[in-house]
A and B are shown apart, each in its own frame.
Chain A
């Protein structure tokens, strides 16, 4: 009996985790369920040990492992492609490890959320203001009333006004969750109403049923919704422009081959795909040989893609298309065959699977502009599309080659009589269109699959833009791409993506009935030629 009691006492003594040291707690991490692990993590945070934040961060990233040989806890870091284990206690290097030497200490979403909140409260007093802001965001999402005191002291010590605001907002959420008096809560509602974004709306709507707060919350919510509706319009315009820029990139090469030369090139999409694969190839080379260049990989890939797609384009023109000028149906069938050949070739070389094309740092993430969320990737693609368009315009209008191109397409015999080698100009024009398709591939590799099917999804859209904008006119392609993009994005919230796309197609068919030559019809003799 006494032994039994002793055991109970012993167990009770072991229960309060707080009493244990950092080292002991660390060893308990791998045991039990996710919620046990969350409790141990909280205890680790409570030890106040200097190493606690570091270890929890590694845990949240999923890099904390247990070494099978001696049961010690290690952090695994990738050092030049090798997995090296470092002791979680003192950071000393344990050595290289292979598959099966360690067991990962698993984290799931719930645990990751808890860890983020813990790390947030631990770094509220960090020296780096950005870290403090991040911490305030984490505490905001957690909303634990236990953090009010800590937040108060952090706010008192805060020197940056914008970080202090974030902390005030985090405190407001905690206050709403606490059992403080109505006055404090009303103040908190006001703080959140001033924040006025989706997150604030989310928090406020949780308390909309609280009698004392119902009225101010309802006012705040309708206020937030009104401003968000306004921003929504701007957001749709941005999405439309961004979709338009993708359409423009895909179509602009076609605007030259189809629009200017009159060749129906069904392999256009595959030229785009070749551009995307060139990007993949360049990135692969850089990854293996010069990893530090990765951020510039797209800049290097652009000329490569232009040359690859361009030379394939010249090959198609010299090999097939030039024998079929003036026979649109045969051209269509022949280039469609070429597109299948190109697809299967790429499939045989690179395999049917998607290839990973990484986003460089400057193409990832988003920033807030007022109520707009603008992703960097899309922004750079829009800029890139406009630069390519401007470059092409300059080339056509200001260079000798551009002059020859226009001359040949407007009046072949006359141009030939003037001493222009029309065959060479044809090949170069087609190559230029193909090369620009390659450039489009570089941009599309950033937002879409890089697979042999990439081109297929863009060929219809490209023709749509060129036909709608008016064949033979680059400005038409520009206007066509952006108006279709914006129209699509304004339709989508009401009709859904599927119906939206159908409606746009129907609209174009009707439009073409009315204006067969598209938005910007060419006038004059050139048209009839």
Chain B
């Protein structure tokens, strides 16, 4: 026999539970999977904030199809296996309809099986090494052909560089990018003697030997440049050592793929003027969309000195694409949205339109910028049109024969054009 008090309590609980369920049907949940603690917090916290801002802005406009958006933030704490757990928690536990998240390639690789199994959608906003195309993932950052190769072209054609130092942190992104770059340089007739490849551990802080090696390598009479895939944290001591040893950008320029406005915020950029970075967006880009974005961002975060950077723009593009696809599909159902996303076109912040390709990569302009003494980049060169991300690099023999097309009837992320089969592996 149940006592009436308990019964009442139980009823009340059920009622309140039903109320929350009813409420959650009114909102669309958006998962945000970025590290807020640990090593990667330095880069990822900003992306969490920018997502919160984008969701708030969208709700001011009345949400999507009359439904409000509700952000769900989790902290995977820079711990790769935890990314997979948190992704599962978001999709299964919280019932989110889409996830924006990850920074490092290893965190993306760790969540891939989860998204596949639970059939959800991930927007990945960071430049990466390519060699991947997954049905549930949309890659809004740059593939190597949207960043590394145009940057090398710029140095080769505009600066007349003939000798190359490929310096990177020892993990998958630099290793794959450098493999592609090496193959590309060789195809352009650069001899193996004129390429120096150097890897350093994460967080490397003593750059004396390497910088003096670069200096010696650069004094062989041929114009030399450094292509840097050095990861975030190690960059500050690297640039400090360059400046101290007097390596001037006019003599040996360094072009970086992981150094943006946020990374420069920790540096005195005076001695670094002229070193380069290649991205698809710079804060200094002069366009009305960008001015508005910067203004909204600084107002949202309450700090007039906060900078914007490339992965933030990638989330801006990705989020707007998703909104448009959901509006078009009329539902947040993953399969419908995944199909609706292909071909969606939204304004980017550099004054053009980016659209989602059939390979789940997007079209972007490529910009090469020089560091200025105010910590900003000045665009010195850009591609004339937009470039579509190439998931399987054409410069690696094993991946040149693969293509990705997620439209029916092909619906395949690694179609081997030689054998005519889906599932041709790159390894």
CB neighbours (8 Å) of A452 from chain B are 41-42
Q: If the complex has contacts A354-B42, A364-B244, A366-B245, are A199 and B250 also in contact, measured as CB distance less than 8 A?
A: no
Contact, CB under 8 Å: A453 / B212: no
Q: Given the complex of chains A and B, what is the CA–CA distance between A513 and B39 in angstroms?
A: 33
Binds B, one of A119-127, A415-423, A442-450: A442-450
Contact, CB under 8 Å: A108 / B199: no
Some 13 contacts from A to B, beta carbons below 8 A apart, are A62-B273, A62-B378, A108-B274, A109-B253, A205-B220, A239-B209, A242-B206, A352-B41, A448-B237, A449-B237, A456-B39, A488-B206, A497-B199
Q: Mark A171-208, 1 if CB is under 8 A from B, else 0.
A: 00000000000000000000000000011011111101
Q: Given the complex of chains A and B, what is the CA–CA distance between A251 and B267 in angstroms?
A: 26
Identity of the chain B residue whose Cβ is nearest the Cβ of A198 in the assembled complex:
B219
B201 within 8 A of A: yes
CB neighbours (8 Å) of A242 from chain B are 206, 208
Q: Given the complex of chains A and B, what is the CA–CA distance between A489 and B208 in angstroms?
A: 9
Q: If the complex has contacts A493-B209, A497-B204, A498-B201, are A356 and B267 also in contact, measured as CB distance less than 8 A?
A: yes
Contact, CB under 8 Å: B219 / A448: no
Q: If the complex has contacts A198-B215, A347-B37, are A453 and B203 also in contact, measured as CB distance less than 8 A?
A: yes
Contact, CB under 8 Å: A113 / B219: no
Contact, CB under 8 Å: B158 / A356: no
Size class of B's contact patch? 35 or more
B251 within 8 A of A: yes
A residues 207-250 touching B (CB-CB < 8 Å):
208, 228, 235-236, 239, 242-243, 246
Q: If the complex has contacts A493-B209, A493-B213, are A355 and B273 also in contact, measured as CB distance less than 8 A?
A: no
B227 within 8 A of A: no
B330 within 8 A of A: no
Binding site for A on B (CB under 8 A): 37, 39, 41-42, 45-46, 158-159, 170, 198-201, 203-206, 208-210, 212-213, 215-216, 218-222, 233, 236-237, 240-241, 243-246, 249-251, 253, 262-263, 265-268, 271, 273-274, 276, 370, 372-373, 378, 380
Contact, CB under 8 Å: A356 / B201: no
Q: If the complex has contacts A356-B265, A498-B200, are A366 and B244 also in contact, measured as CB distance less than 8 A?
A: yes
Contact, CB under 8 Å: A235 / B206: no
A110 within 8 A of B: yes
8 Å CB contact of B266 from A116, A206, A355: A355
B220 to chain A, nearest CB (A): 5
Q: Which of B210, B212, B373 has the most CB of A within 10 A?
A: B212
Q: Given the complex of chains A and B, what is the CA–CA distance between A503 and B148 in angstroms?
A: 32
CB neighbours (8 Å) of A412 from chain B are none
A288 within 8 A of B: no
CB neighbours (8 Å) of A202 from chain B are 218-221
A365 within 8 A of B: yes
Contact, CB under 8 Å: A205 / B221: yes
Q: Given the complex of chains A and B, what is the CA–CA distance between A246 and B207 in angstroms?
A: 13
Contact, CB under 8 Å: B265 / A353: yes
A373 within 8 A of B: yes
Q: If the complex has contacts A110-B158, A448-B205, are A375 and B245 also in contact, measured as CB distance less than 8 A?
A: yes
CB neighbours (8 Å) of A246 from chain B are 205-206
Q: Which of A235, A352, A452 has the most CB of B within 10 A?
A: A352
CB neighbours (8 Å) of B274 from chain A are 108-109, 112
Q: Given the complex of chains A and B, what is the CA–CA distance between A354 and B245 in angstroms?
A: 22
Q: Given the complex of chains A and B, what is the CA–CA distance between A104 and B237 in angstroms?
A: 30
Contact, CB under 8 Å: B380 / A108: yes
Contact, CB under 8 Å: A354 / B219: no
Q: Given the complex of chains A and B, what is the CA–CA distance between A208 and B222 in angstroms?
A: 12
Q: Given the complex of chains A and B, what is the CA–CA distance between A22 and B247 in angstroms?
A: 34
A358 within 8 A of B: yes
8 Å CB contact of B205 from A141, A347, A377, A457: A457
Contact, CB under 8 Å: A497 / B200: yes
Q: Given the complex of chains A and B, what is the CA–CA distance between A315 and B93 in angstroms?
A: 41
Given A201-B219, A352-B41, A446-B240, 20 more pairs with CB closer than 8 A: A62-B373, A62-B378, A112-B249, A198-B216, A205-B221, A236-B209, A239-B212, A243-B208, A353-B265, A373-B212, A375-B244, A447-B240, A448-B237, A450-B266, A451-B266, A452-B41, A453-B39, A457-B203, A489-B209, A497-B200
CB neighbours (8 Å) of B209 from chain A are 236, 239, 489, 492-493, 497
Contact, CB under 8 Å: A354 / B251: no
CB neighbours (8 Å) of B251 from chain A are 141
CB neighbours (8 Å) of B198 from chain A are 496-497
Identity of the chain A residue whose Cβ is nearest the Cβ of B291 in the assembled complex:
A100
Contact, CB under 8 Å: B210 / A106: no
Contact, CB under 8 Å: B265 / A106: no
A344 within 8 A of B: yes
Contact, CB under 8 Å: A453 / B220: no
Q: Given the complex of chains A and B, what is the CA–CA distance between A354 and B205 in angstroms?
A: 14
CB neighbours (8 Å) of B237 from chain A are 447-449
A378 within 8 A of B: yes
Q: If the complex has contacts A243-B206, A354-B265, A497-B210, are A366 and B41 also in contact, measured as CB distance less than 8 A?
A: no
Contact, CB under 8 Å: B380 / A239: no
CB neighbours (8 Å) of B203 from chain A are 453, 456-457
Contact, CB under 8 Å: A352 / B205: no
